Amino acid sequence: MMTQPPIVLDHSLGIELDRENSPFNNFQAFKSNYSGLKILADSVRQLECDYVANDPYAAHVVLHTLGNIPDLVPCAFNWFSVTLVNYLRLVALVQLMATRGWKSGALADPANRTVIREHCTAYVQTAVPEIYRWRNKVAAHFAATDPFRDDSLGTLEQSIMNSVSYRFPHYYVGLFQWNTAGTSADLPTWSLTKTYEDLAPRFWPEMSLRRVVAQQSTENPT
């Protein structure tokens, strides 16, 4: 029988999932999260292409805060951040289990709980700090519904706003920060599609998104 090659999960750190000797009985979550991230990135990229197709001056836009953002966009940012954090925590778990020589049963050992939690969190915070904060303050639950001691009123109020803006060629969140009662929000600035493309060489080099091609206009924007 031909041996199946390992699945490379992190090309930068050389983290691999050994399909022949996996520490898990089932690892379908890797596939569904991997595929779901691409679906979300493709969906938002299509909307970015649509924006450019409908605006001959899109290439000149440096900040467009819109009131008619497609409802899918803020939802996609939230879904993407939750899914990405879940996916990367799994990658970190594979790394930890391989290093320790653990099998699945080690997950239920109370002595391992803290090291698992801390290792997986540190891996995500190092790889995608902006997305991790967005997930914690907006996507997993709005900060306004679970305020922390260090959350400003600006952050709490902005957490329930669909604060999506456009700057060619991407949709972003966090390009503007809400100010209220002398406080300012401190939510991160990031683009879903740019993040996907920036992470591709490390996590999914075989994947790519279609390019955004701006229309050519002979007039000056007003």
- Give the model confidence (pLDDT) of 74-131 as tens digits: 999 999 999 999 999 999 999 999 999 999 999 999 999 999 999 999 999 999 999 9
Host domain of residue 152: 47-203
The yes-or-no verdict on residue 33 having pLDDT over 90 is yes
Q: Which residues contact 207 (CB under 8 A, 6 or more apart)?
A: 38, 200
Look at residue 143 and tell me if it is in a domain. Answer: yes
Nearest to 42 by CA among 174, 197, 206, 175: 197
Residues 180-213: tens digit of each pLDDT: 767 767 788 999 999 999 999 999 999 999 999 8
Q: How many domains does the chain have?
A: 1
What is the average pLDDT across 24-53? 93
Amino acid at 37: L
Q: Are 90 and 23 in contact (CB under 8 A)?
A: no
Distances (CA, A) of 64 to 37, 57, 60, 125: 25, 12, 10, 29
The mean pLDDT value of the chain amounts to 89
Look at residue 220 and tell me if it is in a domain. Answer: no
| CA 55 centroid distance within chain | 27
Look at residue 65 and tell me if it is in a domain. Answer: yes
Look at residue 213 and tell me if it is in a domain. Answer: no
Number of residues that this document lists for the chain: 222
| Angle subtended at Cα 42 by Cα 37 and Cα 48, rounded to the nearest 5 degrees | 130
Look at residue 39 and tell me if it is in a domain. Answer: no
Beta bridge partners of 64: 166
Look at residue 186 and tell me if it is in a domain. Answer: yes
Look at residue 23 and tell me if it is in a domain. Answer: no
Look at residue 40 and tell me if it is in a domain. Answer: no
pTM attached to this predicted model: 0.90
Sort 26 into a burial class: Cβ within 10 Å, 0-12 / 13-18 / 19+. Answer: exposed
Compare 60 and 9 and report the one with higher pLDDT.
9
